[in-house]
Chains A and B, each alone.
Chain A
Amino acid sequence: MKKVTKLRSTVLAAAITTTFTLGVVGQATAGPAPLAPLDSIKVPIPPDNKLTPAKVELGKLLFFDARIGGDASTGCSTCHEPDQGWAWAEDFSRGYPGTVHWRNSQTVINSAFYPRQFWAGSASSNEKQAKSAAKGGVAGNGESDIMEARLALIPEYVKRFKEVYGTEWPLISDVWGAISAFERTLNTVGKYEAPLDKYLKGDKSALSKQQLAGKAVFEGKGGCIQCHNGALITDSDFHNIGVPPNKRWEEDGLAQITFRFEQYAKGMTQEGYRKAKSDWGFYYRSKNKWDRGKFRTPSLRYVKYTAPYMHNGIFYTLEDVVDFYNRGGKDEDGRTTPFPENMDKRIKPLGLSDQEKEDLVAFIESMSGPEITMKKPAMPPYAPLFTKAQLQAAQEAK
């Protein structure tokens, strides 16, 4: 049976509206947290889902297992493909067969640091994100009962779940826990450290001259640091920065279907369903009109591998992103958010020179270290649960 989960967080919405006071455009103020190495913060581990090597290993298998989905053809890695930055290299995520998604697939790398998952923050943990993605109609489209049933018929999983969780049979709720444990290990620390981290930890040779010039733009004239700050290089907050709707909704029938489905599924009013022509973002959670068009600031770590960018993937290069901000939140055709009244007041034309823009891109690239690659593990096979002799005996006993 299909179920809908709606998340409403008016408390959070209220908190967020008061988060920002007047930031001075174009200058680093005392407000934003300074950039910091990623290993200066720790991945939050929920007390009810401790990280163990066995659990991480199990979660890795599950992450790559397409049987965690509706027709056994889509798993987490289907839209979070390691070779595509643990994301999906198209504007919209590919979606469940027969559908297309309506937002860009975000990288799993460093996702465990976020206090809330998804572009509109609709999941408060990796566990909830995994469940939501596996079950969502345009993502995994899996139902708990059949996914759990499949695991019971894979002896390797039965054994591993028993070892990790002590249950007789794998439970679907533990699937989300194990996948999250695996995801919490996918961080750009240690050998995947970015040049910026090395620099921030004292290796002054880690950044080029140009990157240092870009850093000055990032923290100064560009004002980027106002939202992209701290060790994760994001404030994890929600802002309308002026990203225009993806034109694909005007040109692609399949995308139009998903667009309306999302309005329906996210609990829009009848009026909202009829008139929405863009992604209303954080509004779907808060239902406050001033939250229309707001999305969570993404981390800039690992962006070298995760093009295209923005919640709807409309920009394919970092240069395009920088140009967008430089125009004050407009694309090259002058298109902007349908909710300009909600646009963050700090988004203004920046007046960056070509050199400054190049420097900025070079600096943003220093936020990505080596690519995290991973060989997909072999999937453990199904096996019958009963022998013919057992079935014969049951038949005789009827």
Chain B
Amino acid sequence: MGVRVATGRSILAAVVGLGVAFSAQAGKYPDIGPLPQLKINKAKAELGKRLFFDKRLSGDAAISCSTCHDPMKGYAHPDALSPGYPGNGHFRNAQTVINAAHKKVWNHDGRIGTNLNDMTREMLTEDYIMNMDMRIMQERVKQDPKYVKMFKDAGYGEPSNGSVRKAIPEYLKTLTSRNSPFDKGKMSASAKKGMAVFKGKGGCIQCHNGPLLSDQKPHNTGVQENFDVFLDPNNHQAFIAFTMFQGIPDYMGLKRDPGYYNVTLVDEDMGKFITPSLRELKYTAPYMHNGMIKTLADVVEFYNQGGGKDSRKSKLLKPLGLSAAEKKDLVAFLNALSGDQLTSDMHVWKGKYPAEYPVIADWKNVKN
């Protein structure tokens, strides 16, 4: 990964510096376009859907996945910093889980690079996220006859931790962007012009490329730290717990989010974050890993000024000199990357959960 980034970076730096026709360079990057169709097992996805919205999957049964990944907010959260588990806060913005199944790396710092099964485990068990002892989770699920049937129907047999971690990713596959003007080829004239800026003068495509509009690689764009991470002890305690557990040196003295440094412990990776997808931005404000930028116009202006301030900032970022019209067009294009809201019962579990765990009758005589 490191080598490829470095190569791309040097070519790009030259390109941007010389002001060569940018459209010609666009071909150097995986083209933007529709996402591939994913094969979905309906019964498993349906089960995953019920699990995703079930508060009983957190330690104190107070929050579900959907608490921080709210369908009405593009499966993200409108606060700059995710709420986190009761009793603490969080130190990063909740990302949308739409298109998560298309990614190869997860979390703003890229610390999960295997699969959504591991990602699901991470979200459920981390103390500052859902704080779930998965052994208790398994027994809770087994206590709900509807789950018992759904697991069986999905071919998982008896409910288990392992199959929870399979069913949720199966459901996440159904959360794929649909019907964006960009995908349908029905963009406004302004959005079309914005796409040209995106691929050309704006240089956005250097990192935001491929069907996800993300290279899924870490970059330092110099986003201002969100001081609320440190000024609110609820957030800071989650940050300390996280950096302590991850083995970040001097975690008590840290006054910035280490980002990808967490993965490599190499200084030059300090402050790098994985390029986010640009799909569904219309619903997922605020932006950046720490929610520091409130609107897309502000994001565009941030890049127009060559990003933020950081001695390790990516060399790809330079002041762009975009005109007001170009900026407006770019925002129009970004908005054209958002599709239908996934809020119908096709994607959202709208059934009720039992208020109490049903009793297993004849308990003394049935097998546990």
Contacts and interface: CB of A to CB of B under 8 A. Distances in A.
A260 B233 CA distance: 37
Interface string B341-367: 000000000000000111110011001
A1 B87 contact: no
Given A265-B135, A394-B256, A145 B245 contact: yes
Contact of A152 (B61, B86, B143, B252): B252
B224 A149 contact: no
B363 A146 contact: no
A398 interface: yes
A146 B128 CA distance: 7
Contacts of B340: none
Given A145-B127, A146-B128, A249 B60 contact: no
> What is the interface of chain B mostly: helix, strand, loop, or mixed?
loop
- Counting chain B residues whose Cβ lies within 8 A of the other chain, the interface size class is 35 or more
Nearest to B56: A98
B271 interface: yes
Contacts of A256: 143, 357, 359-360, 363
Contacts of A146: 88, 127-128, 237-238, 241
Contacts of B356: 253-254
Interface stretch (A135-143, A182-190, A229-237): A135-143
Interface stretch (A11-19, A21-29, A343-351, A377-385): A377-385
A386 B239 CA distance: 13
Given A251-B359, A253-B358, A253-B359, A1 B245 contact: yes
Nearest to B310: A398
Contacts of A258: 136, 139
A72 B60 contact: no
B136 A99 contact: yes
Nearest to B85: A71
Contacts of A261: 133, 135-136, 139
B88 A263 contact: no
5 contacts: A70-B131, A150-B237, A152-B252, A250-B359, A394-B256
Interface of B: 56, 58-62, 85-88, 125-128, 131, 133-136, 138-140, 142-143, 222, 224-225, 227, 230-234, 236-242, 244-245, 252, 255-256, 271, 309-312, 356-360, 363-364, 367-368
Interface of A: 1-2, 67, 69-73, 96-99, 137-138, 141-143, 145-146, 148-150, 152-153, 168-169, 249-254, 256-261, 263-265, 273-277, 382-386, 388, 390-391, 394-396, 398
